[in-house]
């Protein structure tokens, strides 16, 4: 007769009978704890970006979190594994796309700036290494929840300080560098809007769960301040992302979150119409800026797409021709990578939507609320990307890694193990 033994019981027996295995297991545990600690530090440092000007022209957005990522790669990449459930063919296609396109541009003798190579080739590789590390070492729902809690609380506290400084008009170096737009420590108000969207999307659905990411009165205040802060970024793309979050909550949990939608909307109206009408007028005026230039960019994108609809004009070539970037992730892919690139991007995005929806349907609480928040954050960033090139924003990749890890972890069983979702 064949005896079926629980894997955990079998593992304990092996460890007890083999000291060498026990030693290796202890070293592995210490290494995993070190890696998770570094990942936590990376998440904490994400809201502290630094814009570095390059000698040959252009600039790249980096920061202390990238230093931690470099350390993570050195320490942990040797022990990282590709967890099949967290990857798809679209991942590998997207990773190769800028590399292949950049090589093609070089072979054709076109100019490819250093800033484009660093940001969009090596930057893509770095983001995929981040995704690899998170999906390799984040192996439980508790790990996911702790990382999400760290991220949300750091962003909320920093944003409260930045919003108070902005509203009171107090100038502090490196904070809100554009006087009329809230941007926190980020030099780009649009990117800061994306950061706030992810924090809001993660925080709101978990408020009423058994394990909220922000708790008590502070949590309730925070999720009402964040929409106001998103308004003050004057980022039309971020406003679209906020509406996307509300739509996800209403569609998936109308009875639970309709009250939040109503309260947050009424609060914004009260602030805009009664408390600070001049501030609201300023935001509306800022929102109408540059509309003509956006239409010009749209026409230019259409022109370059039709000049090479299958493979596009090549990595970085739109900026070389027109001296400006395409303010849309989808438009960028259509213009520089053609239909092939856009299909890869669409397949990549749809994969995460499928994974998030599948996890949402099968997960019990409180995991289900965390899935809902992560899914809403992903949708919000996708909406944001309609108006800016958002694919390289690290907090979007954090939500992708969360969704990949959720699929890899699967459904948590009562004894702490997991099975595939």
For β-strands 59-62 and 50-53, DSSP reports them as antiparallel
| pLDDT, position 291 | 54
Question: What pLDDT shows up at residue 259?
Answer: 76
Q: Which residues of the chain have pLDDT under 50?
A: 1-17, 19-22, 413-416
Query: Do the domain assignments include residue 6?
Result: no
- Residues with Cβ within 8 Å of residue 357, at least 6 apart in sequence: 375
* pLDDT given for residue 4 in this prediction: 37
**Could you tell me which residues come within 8 angstroms of residue 418 by beta carbon, excluding any fewer than 6 positions away?**
140, 409, 410, 411, 412
pLDDT score recorded for residue 6: 37
- Number of domains comprising the chain: 1
Residue 368, domain extent: 32-414
The answer to whether residue 183 sits within a structural domain is: yes
Question: 255-261 contacts: CB < 8 A, separation 24 or more?
Answer: 256/208, 257/204, 257/205, 260/204, 260/223
Whether 363 is covered by a domain: the verdict is yes
State the Cα–Cα distance between residues 240 and 413, nearest whole angstrom.
38
Which pLDDT does position 79 carry in this prediction?
Answer: 84
Give residue 289's pLDDT. Answer: 55
- Residue 86 located in a structural domain: yes
**Backbone phi and psi for residue 16, each to the nearest 5 degrees, phi listed first:** -70, -30
DSSP 212-251: -SS-HHHHHHHHHHHHHHHHHTT-HHHHHHHHHHHHHHHH
pTM: 0.87
Task: Point out which residues pair with 107 in neighbouring strands.
Answer: none
Give me the DSSP letters along 90-157.
HHHHHHHHHHHHHHHHHHTT----HHHIIIIIIHHHHHHHHHHHHHHH--SHHHHHHHHHHHHHHHHH
Indicate the SS3 state at residue 46. Answer: coil
Q: How many CB atoms lie within 10 A of CB 160?
A: 16
d(CA 172, CA 92): 43
Rounded Cα–Cα distance for residues 342 and 191 (Å): 22
Say if 20 falls within a structural domain: no
* Residue 17 falls inside a structural domain: no
249 assigned to some structural domain: yes
Q: Is residue 27 part of a domain?
A: no
Q: Are 207 and 223 in contact (CB under 8 A)?
A: yes
- Interatomic CA distance for residues 204 and 212, integer angstroms: 9
The answer to whether 373 and 204 are in contact (CB under 8 A) is yes
Beta carbons of 329 and 391 less than 8 angstroms apart: yes
- d(Cα 216, Cα 205) in Å, to the nearest integer? 14
What is the rounded distance in angstroms from the CA atom of residue 139 to the CA atom of residue 406? 9
């Amino acid at each position: 007769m064949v005896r079926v033994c629980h894997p955990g019981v079998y593992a304990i027996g092996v460890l007890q009978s083999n000291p060498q295995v026990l030693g290796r297991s202890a070293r592995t545990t210490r290494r995993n704890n070190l890696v998770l600690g570094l990942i936590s530090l990376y998440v904490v440092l994400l809201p502290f970006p630094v814009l570095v000007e390059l000698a040959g022209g252009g600039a790249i957005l980096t920061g202390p979190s990238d230093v931690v990522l470099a350390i993570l790669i050195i320490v942990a990449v040797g022990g990282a594994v590709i967890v099949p459930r967290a990857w798809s063919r679209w991942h590998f296609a997207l990773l190769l796309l800028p590399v292949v396109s950049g090589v093609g541009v070089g072979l054709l003798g076109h100019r490819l700036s250093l800033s484009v190579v660093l940001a969009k080739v090596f930057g893509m590789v770095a983001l995929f290494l981040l995704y690899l590390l998170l999906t390799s070492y984040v192996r439980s729902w508790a790990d996911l929840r702790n990382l999400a809690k760290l991220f949300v609380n750091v962003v909320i506290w920093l944003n409260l300080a930045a919003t108070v400084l902005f509203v009171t008009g107090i100038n502090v170096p490196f904070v809100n560098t554009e006087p009329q737009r809230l941007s926190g420590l980020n030099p780009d108000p649009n990117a800061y809007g994306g950061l706030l969207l992810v924090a809001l999307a993660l925080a709101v659905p978990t408020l009423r769960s058994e394990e909220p990411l922000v708790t008590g009165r502070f949590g309730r205040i925070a999720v009402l301040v964040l929409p106001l802060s998103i308004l003050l970024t004057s980022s039309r793309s971020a406003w679209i992302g906020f509406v996307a979050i509300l739509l996800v909550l209403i569609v998936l949990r109308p009875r639970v979150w309709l009250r939040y939608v109503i309260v947050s909307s009424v609060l914004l109206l009260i602030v805009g119409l009664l408390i600070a009408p001049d501030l609201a007028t300023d935001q509306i005026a800022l929102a109408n800026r540059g509309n003509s230039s956006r239409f010009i960019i749209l026409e230019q994108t259409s022109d370059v797409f039709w000049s090479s609809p299958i493979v596009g004009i090549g990595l970085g070539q739109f900026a070389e021709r027109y001296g400006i970037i395409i303010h849309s992730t989808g438009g960028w892919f259509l213009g520089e990578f053609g239909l092939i690139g856009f299909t890869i991007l669409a397949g990549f995005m749809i994969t995460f939507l499928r994974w998030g929806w599948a996890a949402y349907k099968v997960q019990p609480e409180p995991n289900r609320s965390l899935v809902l928040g992560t899914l809403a954050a992903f949708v919000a960033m996708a909406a944001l990307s309609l108006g800016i090139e958002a694919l390289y924003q690290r907090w979007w990749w954090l939500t992708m890694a969360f969704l990949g890890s959720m699929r890899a972890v699967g459904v948590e069983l009562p004894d702490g193990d997991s099975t595939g979702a």
